[in-house]
Structure 1
Amino acid sequence: MMKKLELVFVPLPAIGHLVSTVEFAKLLVGRDDRFSVTVLVMKGPILQTAVTNYIHSVSASLSGSIRFVHLPHLDSDSSNSHPSSPSPVYFHNVMERQKSLIRDAVHQLILSEPGRLAGIVVDLLCTSMMDVADELGVPSYVFSTSSAACLALMFHLQTLQDHQGVDLTEFADSDAELVVPGFVNSVPARVLPALWVDKEGVGSTAIRREARRAREAKGILVNTFMELESHVINSFANGTTPPVYTVGPLLNLNHGDHHKQDSASDVIRWLDDQPQSSVVFLCFGSVGAFNDDQIKNIASGLENSGYRFLWSLRRSPPKGMIPDSSDNTNFEEVLSKEFLNRTSEIGKIIGWAPQMEVLAHSAIGGFISHCGWNSTLESIWHGVPIATWPIYAEQQLNAFQIITELEMGVEIKIDYNKDRNNIDLINSQEIESRIRSLMDDSNPIRKKLASMKENCRKALMEGGSSNSSIQRLIGDMITNFS
């Protein structure tokens, strides 16, 4: 029997990146039994417990064609400063220090399976790991866990810097509008990721570096599907980038966090008692949090809207700390007993939320979201309208895409960004108004979303756009290895 072709995956050590990486690995080995995958798991600085729990939850169900190799801890000096949100600069520095561990793990793999390494697939924020593939003379591929639009913007900003001499720091706090290939509308500078245009220039340097390296890959895999981002995906056909393969939506449909099943069951039982499409769900990702004044405004807006609600609530931690994702939040520290008593029949406030299970529930009628890309795809998959409230990273761009490019959501804010100074509070009246619009059955976004939900579910089926793209990728990987 011929030995399988081995692919090594190097995901960013963050839960959102790891989940979509593993889901793609499952798809790949399920489509073609000539492949096996080794996922190298770095010890990351953010939410490492969530990463560990996820791997534990999925390992039992995976075939022998996928295995995890846990890399050793780095020296302690890498963990002295834990950022409260992802930074390309921070992660690049971590990746540089991880490179020797990756190199050792890949060499060990080659010793045990000589001659069958078909390529290394690296996260878009781990492109320095392509050096290991270059040293071994094997193909490297880049995996973008964000949207095709985010990828297109990254390449465009790199082009502006390298070929037109544009200083990206000029876009910080700017009212400029950018014409970006693949976008139907001009892109306001205020929705650019703040870290990409920071005034110190370190973010723009990092984005330039990652984009340059990504252009050297044999292919770029993107967690999206053609029907959602056709304008952007078609713009990559101009020959200035490697082939782009749509491989999404990559969603963790079957595995919750088994360590929190009691909490999940309690939430689902509560939803079971609510009428269909009657509940607005608020959840802001793994590290999304607000200060006490904003939390009180949200509470007032929710109560005044009159709608039932499920609210995954986190308070902003002390500066430089990561928000607590536990279930042990004392909500009375920030919300009055009177509010909690008045809303006890129509609202439920929780810490951690089983987001995928919640969005799948028939009681959910709308989703107030931080617009992380995984959350955006999950809402489309389940046909739940989004109200956009981005917080950091590329979420402002995702919100712009949802509201302006796709016209499939309600804007609470598209340029809210905790990485920028002087954030204005969103008042309770605005929040109330947007909730009413989000939950309005006659809102035309519901019809658009229903159509996109159908496309989303067809994409990975036989004959679907992403299924065809993955088959093309498989053929190209075999050709590149030969």
Structure 2
Amino acid sequence: MSTNSSNNVVHLDEVIVAMVPFPDFSHLNQLFVLARFIASHNIPVHFICLADRNQDLKHRVQGGLSASNIHFHDLLVPSSLDAGNGLPSIVIFMKKLVEPIRRTCIDISTNAKRLVIIHDSIMMDHIRDAHSLIPNVESYKFHAISAFAIYSGLRQSIDHLVVDDDDDDDDHEKMIKQMHDEFPLLDRCCGPYAAALVRKEHEWKLNSGNIMNSCREVESKYLDLLAHTTDRQYWAVGPLHMLLESRDSSNMTKNECIEFLDKQDVNSVIYVSFGTTTTLTQEQVNELALGLEQSNCSFIWVLRQADKKMETENFEENDEKIELPIGFEDRVDGRGLVVKNWAPQLEILGHTSTGGFLSHCGWNSCLESISMGVPLAAWPINYDQPFNAVFVTNLLKIATSVRSWARREELVTASTIEKAVNKLMGTTEGIEMRQRAVELSNKIKNSVSRGGDARKEIESFISCIIK
């Protein structure tokens, strides 16, 4: 917004974008990349998130048009979380954020002729009031999970789901029947309230469209099926991590993981990471260590506790320290590297020495692995991960399953882990998975390049919001 000093006329921005992420890193990182891309089109973007999250994100923006066009609005953590009706503390916490988000959106809207809110699909209630209180607003739902996971959840939550493309839907039904109890059930993955949330999302009428961190080269069938369930448009704008130009790393200090990979043979290293939301038990860590040791395969293993959901002392925290078996690091010295903090996952997956990824199958990790042409050993834990594991294993056929989903409550033994690693890294079947992953990677890279289909789709969305 600018003011003409001679006559005090206020000039409003044509469009301002407000981003409302779910404040878990696995979600907000995706929206932040989208925020930077939109800001690079000279559109003011206001990122509304917890103060500590914003502080981390500010360090990633260094100069350029996108930096000057991103404005951070800090949401302060409520000082107390009163117990309410037996609800989990995370639910109570999120309810406390409704009012500050509503107030911030209203404040931002006064500077624009039109406010566009892009919100995580989980944050529907947080922007509901904006539609009744702001006359110049429209909103778009951002989905941080795969189209396959969303569609599978819809099928399990809504009776007689209307889908126009009957043949493709029949294929999905056939796969479910063939898998029997190996196909995930929504309530087992996401809890008893998941189906109600899915129905609520599906019935939400305040959004002008849906944004997916996916691409048609990977999920064309399920993006089309989703589009047939609603009159709202879907834009597949991913993989989001490929939207931004990579930084010149010539002046950066080389990470220990990359130094380790530089000394290994092509496709010889398996990368092991369970993301930011999983903490393995000490017993499971012991089995994983032994399995990696017995596989005789080179590896990088990111071993860390799950990130805290929110920065507040009222939430339960697990301070139990995870230890490696005595002598393990000495025994694998030279062929194994254990990282106990942050690791540059994209750089690791993009390195020629990395030949596989033992993963929890979070959607970010799946997309990053696919885009880099790296096959997976699928070890899903919860949420959308079991659906993603089915997708990469049974449909894309670029992954092997570490263990049966039906036996998910059981300890995964060292011998099971050893077998899965060796299958991925040392068999003809593993080579074929890698070849399929590389083919997908090449298609994705062509699609996100200038003039490619994915690039056209994100530019179509930009055009829509500034129309």
When the two structures are superposed, what TM-score results if normalisation uses the length of structure 1? 0.79
The alpha-carbon deviation at position 389 of structure 1 amounts to 0.6
Give the corresponding residue for 2:175: 185
**Paired AA for residue 59 in structure 2:** H
The alpha-carbon deviation at position 130 of structure 1 amounts to 3.5
180-189 or 289-298: which moved more? 180-189
In the aligned structure 2, how far is the partner of 1:363 from the partner of 1:251?
A: 21
The alpha-carbon deviation at position 207 of structure 1 amounts to 2.8
Residue 449, structure 1, aligned to residue 411, structure 2: no
DSSP 3-state at the match of 2:13 = coil
395-404 or 90-99: which moved more? 90-99
Q: How does 1:18-97 map to 2 (within 5 A)?
A: 18-30=28-40, 32-33=41-42, 35-42=43-50, 52-58=55-61, 60=63, 62-77=66-81, 93-97=92-96
In the aligned structure 1, how far is the partner of 2:80 from the partner of 2:391?
A: 40
DSSP 3-state at the match of 1:115 = strand
**Paired AA for residue 5 in structure 1:** V
Give the corresponding residue for 2:418: 432
1:329-349 per-position Cα deviation (integer Å, ceiling 9, x unaligned): 977x44122x33221222111
Kindly indicate whether the alpha-carbon contact (under 8 Å) linking 1:280 and 1:309 is maintained by their aligned counterparts in 2.
yes
Kindly indicate whether the alpha-carbon contact (under 8 Å) linking 1:222 and 1:244 is maintained by their aligned counterparts in 2.
yes
Determine which of 282, 286, 294 is the counterpart of 2:284: 294
Give the corresponding residue for 1:343: 332
1:355-385 per-position Cα deviation (integer Å, ceiling 9, x unaligned): 2222122221111001111111111121111
Aligned CA distance change for structure 1 residues 188 and 223 (closer, same or farther; 3 Å): farther
The alpha-carbon deviation at position 90 of structure 1 amounts to 6.5
1:257-294 per-position Cα deviation (integer Å, ceiling 9, x unaligned): x9xx98x7222222222222221111100132222222
The alpha-carbon deviation at position 203 of structure 1 amounts to 3.1
**Paired AA for residue 145 in structure 1:** A
The alpha-carbon deviation at position 2 of structure 1 amounts to 7.9
Q: How does 1:450-465 map to 2 (within 5 A)?
A: 450-465=438-453
Kindly indicate whether the alpha-carbon contact (under 8 Å) linking 1:156 and 1:181 is maintained by their aligned counterparts in 2.
no
The alpha-carbon deviation at position 431 of structure 1 amounts to 1.1
Residue 149, structure 1, aligned to residue 148, structure 2: yes
Kindly indicate whether the alpha-carbon contact (under 8 Å) linking 1:182 and 1:231 is maintained by their aligned counterparts in 2.
no
Determine which of 103, 113, 116 is the counterpart of 2:114: 116
**Paired AA for residue 438 in structure 1:** L
Q: How does 1:176-255 map to 2 (within 5 A)?
A: 185-186=175-176, 190-194=183-187, 198=191, 201-213=192-204, 215-238=205-228, 240-251=230-241
DSSP 3-state at the match of 1:227 = helix
**Paired AA for residue 329 in structure 2:** L
Aligned CA distance change for structure 1 residues 449 and 125 (closer, same or farther; 3 Å): same
**Paired AA for residue 151 in structure 2:** A
In the aligned structure 2, how far is the partner of 1:425 from the partner of 1:76?
A: 38
Aligned CA distance change for structure 1 residues 436 and 224 (closer, same or farther; 3 Å): same
The alpha-carbon deviation at position 406 of structure 1 amounts to 1.1
DSSP 3-state at the match of 2:275 = coil
The alpha-carbon deviation at position 154 of structure 1 amounts to 3.4
Give the corresponding residue for 1:306: 296
Kindly indicate whether the alpha-carbon contact (under 8 Å) linking 1:71 and 1:101 is maintained by their aligned counterparts in 2.
yes
Give the corresponding residue for 1:366: 356
In the aligned structure 2, how far is the partner of 1:161 from the partner of 1:98?
A: 35
DSSP 3-state at the match of 1:434 = helix
**Paired AA for residue 397 in structure 1:** F
**Paired AA for residue 192 in structure 1:** L
Kindly indicate whether the alpha-carbon contact (under 8 Å) linking 1:287 and 1:322 is maintained by their aligned counterparts in 2.
no
Determine which of 236, 255, 264 is the counterpart of 1:265: 255
DSSP 3-state at the match of 2:97 = helix
In the aligned structure 1, how far is the partner of 2:217 from the partner of 2:118?
A: 25
In the aligned structure 2, how far is the partner of 1:304 from the partner of 1:460?
A: 40
Aligned CA distance change for structure 1 residues 38 and 272 (closer, same or farther; 3 Å): same
The alpha-carbon deviation at position 162 of structure 1 amounts to 9.2
Kindly indicate whether the alpha-carbon contact (under 8 Å) linking 1:122 and 1:143 is maintained by their aligned counterparts in 2.
yes
In the aligned structure 2, how far is the partner of 1:354 from the partner of 1:40?
A: 26
The alpha-carbon deviation at position 322 of structure 1 amounts to 4.9
In the aligned structure 1, how far is the partner of 2:216 from the partner of 2:28?
A: 22
Aligned CA distance change for structure 1 residues 120 and 315 (closer, same or farther; 3 Å): closer
124-133 or 153-162: which moved more? 153-162
Kindly indicate whether the alpha-carbon contact (under 8 Å) linking 2:187 and 2:195 is maintained by their aligned counterparts in 1.
no
Aligned CA distance change for structure 1 residues 448 and 218 (closer, same or farther; 3 Å): same
Aligned CA distance change for structure 1 residues 237 and 182 (closer, same or farther; 3 Å): farther
Give the corresponding residue for 1:15: 25
In the aligned structure 2, how far is the partner of 1:416 from the partner of 1:4?
A: 53
The alpha-carbon deviation at position 299 of structure 1 amounts to 1.8
**Paired AA for residue 355 in structure 1:** Q
DSSP 3-state at the match of 1:458 = helix
Give the corresponding residue for 1:175: none
In the aligned structure 2, how far is the partner of 1:180 from the partner of 1:340?
A: 50
In the aligned structure 2, how far is the partner of 1:196 from the partner of 1:306?
A: 33
347-356 or 58-67: which moved more? 58-67
In the aligned structure 1, how far is the partner of 2:385 from the partner of 2:67?
A: 34
Q: Structure 2: 5+ residue runs without aligned partners?
A: 1-10, 163-168, 308-314
DSSP 3-state at the match of 2:241 = coil
DSSP 3-state at the match of 1:444 = helix
**Paired AA for residue 52 in structure 1:** Q
Aligned CA distance change for structure 1 residues 402 and 476 (closer, same or farther; 3 Å): same
1:126-165 per-position Cα deviation (integer Å, ceiling 9, x unaligned): 11134133112421110001111122233333422999xx
- The aligned length equals 430
CA RMSD between the two structures: 3.4
In the aligned structure 2, how far is the partner of 1:37 from the partner of 1:235?
A: 31
The alpha-carbon deviation at position 404 of structure 1 amounts to 0.7
Q: Structure 1: 5+ residue runs without aligned partners?
A: 82-86, 164-178
**Paired AA for residue 340 in structure 2:** G
In the aligned structure 2, how far is the partner of 1:373 from the partner of 1:447?
A: 21
